[in-house]
Structure 1
Amino acid sequence: MTEREPAASDFRVGSELVVRSIAGVPTVEHGDDLFEIVVGALERAEIDLRDGDVVVLASKIVSRAEGCFVDLGSITPGETALRLGQEVDKDPRLVELIVRESIGVSRKTTGALIVRHRLGFVSANAGIDASNAAPRGAAPSSGPWVLTLPRDPDASAAALRAKLTARYSTNVAVVITDSWGRPFRRGTVGFALGAAGLPVVWDRRGASDRHGRVLDATESAVADSIAAAADLVAGQADEGRPLTLVRGLAFAPSDESSKALLRDPEDDLYA
C-alpha cells in the first residue's frame, strides 16, 4: 500500500448529535414540491437551518413526488420473469419490474431476488415498495400498485440542497434514505440512497489513533451513518415521519454523491 498524507479534517462530529423527526409532512403526491413541503414543515416546527445541518428524507416521498408509481396490472412479464417468478414463488409481474430496475441477479431464494440495482448497489427486490404505494385517485379496479426508487436520487438531493442553501443562506446537506438488509445480519437499516453537500465517506487513512499508529484502512461511511440514525426516528411502519433533521455535525461542502459509497463489483465479496 502506498503511503498517504494525513487525512484532511473536513468532517467533525462532537460528543452529542441531535436527530429530530419533523412532523407535519402530508401524503406526498406526484408533482408536489418537496422544497415547499420541507420548508413548510420546518417553519411549523420553528426551525431555521444552520451550518452543518443535514435534512434527511425517506426515499418514498421522493418517489411519490417524482411519480415513480407502477400499476402491476399494466406489466406483461417476459420469459425471464416468468421463469424467475416460478423459481422464487413471486408474482411474475413484480419480477419483471425487478428485472427492469436491475442490471443483474446476484442471488435468489423463495420470495426474494438479490439484484444489483441500476443505481449500482445490491439489494433485495430492487428496492421496490408495495406499502402506501397507490397514487391519489387510483381507480379501485387498478393495481396492485408499487413504487420504484427515485430515478436519480443524487440529483434529487442536489436540487433540494441548492434551494435550501439559497433559502437559509447556510451550508446544509441533504440525504435521501432507504432501508436494506445486510449479509450475515438480521433486520434492516437505513442507508444513503442519495446525498448532496457533505463528504459521504470520511477517509481517515493517514490519521493516527490514540497510540500513534497510522490508520491505513479506516473509512467511515458518513452518509450511511446519518441515514441509519434518521431511520430510527423515521420508522418503518405507520409512523408517518419521512422528514428528519440531523444536527451536530461540522463539514466542508462537498461535491461527493452517494456513488462514492459503492464498491467496485469486482471487489464486492457479497454480491
Structure 2
Amino acid sequence: MDVKLIGLRKIPLIKENDDIARIILDSMDLEGIEILDGDIFVIAETAVSKSEGTIIDLNSITPSKLAFELSKKTGKKPEIVEAIIQESNEIIKVGPDFIISETKHGFVCANAGIDESNVDGGLATPMPVDPDKSASDIRIKLENAAGSEIAIIISDTQGRAFREGAVGTAIGISGMEALWDRRGENDLYGRELETTSIAVADELASAASIIMGQANEGIPVVIIRGIEYFKKLKTDSSTAKSLLRPKKYDVFR
C-alpha cells in the first residue's frame, strides 16, 4: 500500500465564520489538487475552533478559589486554569505545568485540550463544541462539491500516559469508522485474532501531524491518500466517541 500525505500550503489564517470547506476547495484549486475517492482530510482543531468562534478571552475570566489553588501547584496563570476548569467534567491529576482532566466531550487529556498557540496574545482555543458534527458538516460540503466519497478527521495534539512528547489524536471524525475491529481475522500463523481493535483515526491523525507540525508551519489541513481500508470502514454514522474507554474500565482512575 502506497500512502501519500499532502499538506495544503495555501490555507490562510482562519477567522470566525470562515467556511473551512470553501477555504479547502480554494486552496486545492490554487495548488492544482483534485479531491479523489478515499481521500481523508485531517484538519487541526484550532482552525475549526477559530472558524466556529469558540475562542476564550483570558482577560475576561475571573478565576475561582480553586483556580488560584491549582495555579500555585502548576505554575499556570489563574485565568488559564479557570478556563481549564470550565471546559472540564473532572479534574483528574495536577502536576508541574499540567492539569489532566476529562473534557466536556469525555476526552482525558492535558489542560482540557485548550491551546494558547497560534492565536493572538490573551486568547486561547478550546476544542470545538461538537467535533464530530464539525467533521460531518465539512465532509458533506466537500463531497457535494467534488462528487467523491471522503472522510474528515478533526485532530488535536495530545500527550500519552507513560511516554514523553505529543502526537496527533482524533477528536472528531466523519465518513469512516474511528476503530477497526479485526477480531475474527487471522494472523500470519493462522491464529484467530481475539482482542485486536485498531484506533485508525488516531493513527491517521498522528501521520498527518508529521506534516502539520506544531510551530509556524502554517499547514492546518493534510490530505491522506491511498488508504486501502477506507472502503471497508466507510460509514456516514461514525463518531470519535468510540475511541473513548468507559470510565469503569479506566484502571488509571
Q: Give deviations 1:64-86, integer Å, cap 9, x for gaps.
A: 10112111110001122122222
Q: Distance in 1 between matches of 2:156 and 2:103?
A: 13
Letter paired with 1:74: S
Map of 1:230 onto structure 2: 208
Q: Could you say which residue in structure 2 is the equivalent of 1:184? A: 162
Secondary structure at the aligned position of 1:227 is classed as helix
Contact 1:205–1:218 under 8 Å retained in 2: yes
Residue in 1 aligned with 2:72?
86
Q: Does 1:266 align with 2:244?
A: no
The whole-number CA distance in structure 2 between the counterparts of 1:231 and 1:78 is 35
Contiguous gaps of at least 5 residues in structure 2: none
2:220 is matched with which residue? 242
* Code of the aligned partner of 2:181: D
How many residues end up aligned between the 2 structures? Answer: 249
- Tell me if the contact between 1:230 and 1:244 (Cα under 8 Å) persists in the aligned partners: yes
Are 1:257 and 2:239 an aligned pair?
yes
**Residues 47-70 of structure 1, C-alpha deviation per residue, up to 9 Å, x if partnerless?**
221111101111111011011211
What do you get for the CA RMSD once the two structures are aligned?
1.1
- What is the aligned partner in structure 2 of residue 56 from structure 1? 42
Q: Secondary structure at the match of 2:46?
A: helix
Mapping 1:3-22, distance limit 5 Å: 15-22=1-8
Runs of 4+ in 1 over 6 A off after TM superposition: none
Q: Supply the distance in 2 between the matched residues of 1:56 and 1:39 (Cα, whole angstroms).
A: 14
Partner letter of residue 140 of structure 2?
A: A
Map of 2:135 onto structure 1: 157
Contact 1:183 1:270 in 2 (8 A): no
CA distance in structure 2 between the partners assigned to 1:120 and 1:44 by the alignment: 38
Q: 1:32: which partner in 2?
A: 18
Amino acid at match of 1:251: K
Deviations 1:94-143 (A, max 9, x none): 11110110011111101110101111111111111111222xxxxxxxx6
Name the residue aligned to 2:61: 75
Residue 46 of structure 1, CA deviation: 1.5
- SS of the residue aligned with 2:226? strand
Q: 2: distance between equivalents of 1:242 and 1:87?
A: 33
Structure number with greater Rg is: 1
Q: Where in structure 2 are the equivalents of 1:74-223 lying within 5 Å?
A: 74-134=60-120, 144-223=122-201
CA distance in 1, matches of 2:218, 2:41: 16
Amino acid in structure 1 at the alignment position of 2:138: L
Structure 1 unmatched runs, 5+: 1-14, 135-142
Q: 1:199·1:251 contact (CA, 8 Å) conserved in 2? A: no
TM-score, normalised to structure 2, is 0.95
Asked if 2 retains the 8 angstrom alpha-carbon contact of 1:72 and 1:93, the reply is yes
> Counterparts of 2:60 and 2:89 in 1: how far apart (Å)?
22
Query: TM-score, with normalisation over the residues of structure 1?
Result: 0.89
- Partner of 1:116, secondary structure, is strand
Structure richer in helix, relative to its length = 2
- Further displaced range: 154-163 or 79-88: 79-88
Partner secondary structure for residue 16 of structure 1: coil
